[in-house]
């Protein structure tokens, strides 16, 4: 169904992109989803965001908010509604070099942030791709290349500038509205639209970067070995593993980042990984941090990567969990399996300090499928993995629902998130309110939990 936009506010003149605009094809979609919104508002300020919110309310349009559009759920676009696009709001400023405090607008991409901070010898651990937008990641978690050294992105957010659903512009910090700051650090999507963050960066220029490929045995002992190494690893070391199907024997493609430019430190951190199995390829370099979230990653999102994804957190890779991972990657309809190391600094905060409460888990496991495979196919694979998981990360879920909410925000955390979403967004402008039921809906990819 086609929706026609009514009268537009004068203060948004020239900023509203409709289907007859030549820019519309490059703005209507996200990375995973092709959308057909009635209009996209290219907001340039918090006032523009407030005006766009008012427009959506007055014309009763479904609303989507986009910082980068790289999210797997595709929720940053819609059909027949309004999209508030923050990509014009991308300033990065060093507020206090001695305190390493920077201000980053929500529409910046992490490649742009890394590039802007590099001359100052600073970095922020973000996602692992330069095209990811700041807003979507910095309100949900942020499991990046430096996660064991730096922690999650939300752990270092010191203040957030927010436009609430009623159009009010506020600053959330430990003194001014600490409840809003709490929910914006991990569950911000349902409370308000973040337009800028104050983040404490870390001192960093160059890092050790290594890629290894190891054969994975059917029992998954290679994966257990990787898990054991990471449990004892220095905090400078963070890793990502992709299980690539190679017949019945998958390969573990390991990317390792060491938050140091000291060759001896890098070598010492990487050496134990060589003992996890038959390592067939290995490369190691010292590179600028900007190479990891490169400006070469920047691209338009046009729905070019349709996919179905779900995830879970592992406290430990047990023998049963290891076999389930191998099965998921090598079955008749194999999934792309990614493992991301946690622990280290990611486990330091009190679980109640932010809305991202998962602090004892050691690994994030992500399962993805691509057309022609769909959600039922992924569900069949995920059923073998779900019993081993303990929680989930909201940003790696392509079909978020009440079950996802319960896994991402368990127990008292979920109760508090629900209460704050209701307080700041009583009309549910930004997010469908989660039910209080713990019963997974039929067909959910994690319904076996």
Domain of 63: which CATH number? 3.30.43.10
Q: Which residues of 267-278 are buried (b: 16+ CB within 10 A; e: fewer)?
A: eebbebbeebbe
Distance CA 42, CA 23 (A): 11
Beta-bridged to residue 162, according to DSSP, are 170, 194
Same domain, 79 and 126: no
Is 106 inside a domain boundary? yes
19-44 pLDDT tens trace: 999 999 999 999 999 999 999 999 99
277-290 pLDDT tens trace: 999 888 899 999 99
Same domain, 66 and 38: yes
* Domains: count for the chain: 2
The last residue of one of the domains, among 41, 56, 85, is 85
Cite the beta strand spans of 52-125 per DSSP E.
63-66, 82-85, 92-96, 101-105, 122-123
Same domain, 165 and 114: yes
The last residue of one of the domains, among 203, 237, 272, is 203
Give pTM, 2 decimals: 0.94
Is 336 inside a domain boundary? no
107-155 pLDDT tens trace: 999 999 999 999 999 999 998 999 999 999 999 999 999 999 999 999 9
Residue 352 has a CB neighbour count (10 Å cut-off) of 12
Q: Which two structure tokens, joined as six digits, stand for 206?
A: 């160059």
Is 235 inside a domain boundary? no
Residue 312 has a CB neighbour count (10 Å cut-off) of 26
Q: Which residues contact 21 (CB under 8 A, 6 or more apart)?
A: none
**Strand, helix or coil for residue 177:** coil
Domain that holds residue 105: 92-203
Is 96 inside a domain boundary? yes
234-269 pLDDT tens trace: 999 999 999 988 767 799 999 999 999 999 999 999
């Amino acid at each position: 169904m086609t929706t026609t936009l009514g009268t537009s506010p004068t203060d948004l003149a020239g900023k509203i992109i409709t289907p007859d605009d030549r820019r519309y094809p490059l703005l209507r979609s996200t990375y995973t989803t092709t959308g057909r919104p009635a209009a996209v508002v290219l907001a340039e300020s918090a006032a523009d965001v407030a005006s766009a919110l008012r427009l959506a309310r007055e014309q009763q349009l479904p609303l989507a908010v986009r910082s980068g559009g790289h999210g797997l759920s595709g929720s940053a676009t819609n059909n027949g509604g309004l999209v508030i696009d923050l990509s014009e709001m991308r300033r990065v400023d060093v507020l206090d070099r001695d305190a390493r405090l920077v201000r980053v607008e929500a529409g910046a991409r992490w490649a742009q942030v890394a590039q802007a901070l590099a001359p100052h010898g600073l970095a922020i651990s973000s996602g692992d791709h330069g095209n990811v937008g700041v807003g979507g990641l910095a309100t949900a978690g942020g499991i990046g290349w430096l996660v064991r050294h730096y922690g999650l992105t939300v752990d270092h957010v010191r203040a957030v500038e927010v436009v609430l659903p009623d159009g009010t512009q506020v600053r959330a910090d430990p003194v001014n509205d600490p409840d809003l700051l709490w929910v914006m650090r991990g569950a911000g999507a349902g409370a308000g639209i973040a337009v800028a963050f104050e983040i404490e960066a870390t001192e960093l220029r160059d890092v050790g970067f290594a890629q290894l490929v190891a054969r994975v045995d059917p029992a998954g002992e290679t994966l257990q070995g990787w898990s054991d190494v990471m449990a004892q690893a220095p905090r400078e070391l963070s890793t990502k593993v992709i299980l690539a199907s190679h017949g019945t024997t998958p390969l573990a493609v390991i990317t390792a980042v060491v938050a140091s430019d000291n060759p001896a430190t890098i070598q010492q951190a990487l050496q134990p990984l060589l003992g996890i199995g038959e390592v067939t390829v290995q490369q190691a370099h010292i590179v600028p941090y900007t190479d990891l979230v490169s400006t070469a990653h920047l691209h338009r999102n046009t729905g070019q990567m349709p996919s179905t994804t779900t995830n879970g957190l592992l406290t430990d890779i047990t023998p049963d969990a290891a076999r389930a991972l191998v099965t998921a990657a090598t079955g008749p309809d194999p999934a792309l399996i990614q493992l991301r190391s946690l622990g280290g600094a990611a486990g330091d905060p009190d679980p109640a300090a932010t809305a991202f409460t998962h602090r004892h888990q050691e690994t994030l496991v992500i399962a993805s499928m691509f057309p022609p495979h769909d959600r039922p196919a992924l569900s069949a694979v995920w059923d073998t993995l779900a019993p081993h998981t303990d929680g989930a990360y909201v940003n790696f879920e392509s079909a978020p629902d009440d079950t996802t909410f319960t896994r991402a925000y368990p127990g008292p955390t979920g109760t508090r998130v629900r209460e704050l979403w209701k307080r700041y967004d009583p009309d549910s402008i930004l997010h469908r309110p989660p039910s209080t039921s713990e019963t997974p809906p039929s067909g959910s990819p994690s319904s076996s939990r």
